[in-house]
């Protein structure tokens, strides 16, 4: 019993030691095999290094070659990962950012200041900036390139209003606008520029140039554009269209965003009706003699002579159902005529719609009944029997 208890206690100690990660050799025979020692690390051993985040790839230059001469406004181009954000540093100035386009291409214009210039261009991934691409150029005198309008574009149909004219040019040059919008502005490092304005519905034209000291002026660029109203809303018929019977005068109605706007509704070549919104709602009634068939109804808004894009819905005209026949009562027999002794009857009764045959039989029966009653009365007065 004591030996068994001792072995049980030893087993408990061994189990506790194994759970604690240590299996003493003295108890190896008790558990039948040696337990492997738990791995340990010295207190002064270095920790596993944390992996550094991968740097975004360095942009690649397409041209012009670094170290060459360029004129102001010359585009310096390259490639990179599409939609990557790039950080650009020009000499010791504050950096700005540009984005690689969807085709993996980036570009920036050479500045208008003459002399040496250095560009450092690095890709940005979150807060991690990659190794920069370093470029050096010598900017020499030349004619400034044409300005590139960004908004509005030539022949643009701008919706509602235009609050600024904007575009890109040569950093360090000055933009001059003439025409329906006048103003000047300086072009910063990014090459972007903006001149504020306030244009509503109408047709406009703006001419733009850029200048810089010691450089030839750019050629004038003229940009025509219009500001047009928004499309009207067609509330009825809805977008799925309607079906009406021939002879019906369909109603088309909706709303506009500018009170008092003119709305034009058309349902075919050379067919249209105009109405004035009151103040925001409008309604027109189409002709009731539309031929059977399908129609596309267009509606557009006109303000200051400028028409919006058209909104469309559908209309189908189907034949009207035939009218039910009208039933008129008519007589079926030939009415007998009662001719007076002094009359000149036609031989027929008035057209009452009743058959003369049953009427004649009824009359004869009444005459016979009257004659029989008269015979009975005479015999009773004579004292005879019936």
Domain 148-228 has CATH 3.50.50.60: no
Residue 294: partners with Cβ closer than 8 Å, 6 or more residues away: 314, 315, 316, 317
Name the nearest CA neighbour of 253 among 238, 270, 268. Answer: 238
Q: For residues 141 and 159, is the Cβ–Cβ distance under 8 A?
A: no
262-308 tens-digit pLDDT = 999 999 888 999 999 999 999 999 999 999 999 999 999 999 999 99
Mean pLDDT rounded to a whole number for the chain: 82
Average pLDDT over residues 230-250: 94
Whether 243 has a pLDDT exceeding 70, the answer reads yes
Q: What is the pLDDT of residue 64?
A: 98
- Predicted confidence band of residue 157 (pLDDT cuts 50, 70, 90): very high
Q: Which is it for strands 69-70 and 133-139: parallel, antiparallel or unpaired?
A: parallel
Say which CATH topology domain 65-139 has.
Immunoglobulin-like (2.60.40)
Q: Which residue has the tokens 């574009």?
A: 153
Q: Cβ-count burial of 308 within 10 angstroms (0-12 exposed, 13-18 middle, 19+ buried)?
A: buried
Q: What is the pLDDT of residue 25?
A: 46
Answer CATH for 233-318 from 3.40.720.10, 3.90.550.10, 3.90.180.10, 2.60.40.10: 2.60.40.10
Range in 104-113, 164-173, 206-215, 363-372 the model is least confident about: 363-372
Phi and psi, residue 26, nearest 5°: -65, -25
Average pLDDT over residues 137-164: 97
Dihedral over alpha carbons 333, 334, 338, 342 (to 10 degrees): 160
Beta partners for residue 240, in sequence order: none
314-336 tens-digit pLDDT = 999 999 998 888 777 665 544 44
Average pLDDT over residues 356-364: 48
Whether 241 has a pLDDT exceeding 70, the answer reads yes
d(CA 44, CA 202): 80
pTM for the whole structure: 0.68
């Amino acid at each position: 019993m004591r030996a068994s208890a001792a072995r049980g206690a030893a087993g408990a100690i061994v189990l506790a030691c194994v759970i604690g990660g240590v299996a003493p050799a003295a108890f190896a025979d008790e558990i039948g095999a040696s337990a492997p020692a738990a791995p340990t690390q010295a207190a002064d051993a270095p920790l596993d290094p944390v992996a550094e985040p991968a740097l975004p790839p360095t942009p690649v230059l397409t041209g012009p070659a670094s170290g060459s001469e360029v004129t102001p406004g010359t585009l310096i181009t390259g490639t990179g990962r599409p939609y990557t954000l790039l950080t650009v540093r020009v000499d010791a100035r504050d950096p700005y950012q540009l984005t690689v386009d969807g085709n993996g291409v980036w570009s920036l214009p050479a500045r208008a200041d003459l002399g040496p210039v250095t560009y450092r261009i690095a890709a940005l991934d979150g807060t991690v900036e990659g190794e920069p691409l370093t470029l050096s150029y010598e900017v020499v005198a030349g004619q400034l390139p044409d300005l590139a309008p960004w908004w509005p574009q030539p022949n643009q149909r701008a919706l509602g209003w235009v609050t600024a004219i904007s575009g890109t040019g040569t950093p360090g040059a000055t933009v001059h606008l003439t025409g329906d919008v006048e103003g000047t502005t300086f072009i910063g490092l990014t090459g972007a520029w903006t001149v504020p304005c306030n244009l509503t519905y109408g047709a406009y034209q703006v001419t733009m140039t850029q200048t810089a000291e010691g450089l030839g002026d750019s050629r004038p660029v003229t940009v025509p554009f219009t500001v047009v109203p928004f499309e009207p809303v067609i509330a009825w018929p809805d977008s799925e269209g309607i079906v009406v019977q021939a002879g019906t005068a369909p109603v088309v109605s909706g709303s506009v965003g500018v009170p008092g706007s003119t709305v034009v509704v058309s349902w075919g070549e050379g067919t249209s009706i105009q109405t004035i919104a009151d103040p925001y709602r409008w309604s027109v009634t189409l002709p009731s003699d539309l031929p059977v068939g399908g129609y596309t109804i267009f509606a557009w808004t006109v303000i200051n002579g400028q028409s919006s894009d058209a909104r469309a819905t559908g209309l189908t005209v189907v034949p009207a159902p035939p009218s039910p026949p009208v039933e008129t009562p008519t007589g079926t027999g030939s009415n007998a005529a009662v001719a007076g002794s002094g009359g000149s009857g036609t031989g027929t009764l008035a057209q009452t719609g009743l058959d003369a045959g049953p009427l004649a039989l009824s009359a004869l029966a009444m005459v016979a009944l009257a004659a029989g009653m008269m015979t009975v009365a005479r015999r009773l007065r004579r004292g005879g029997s019936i």
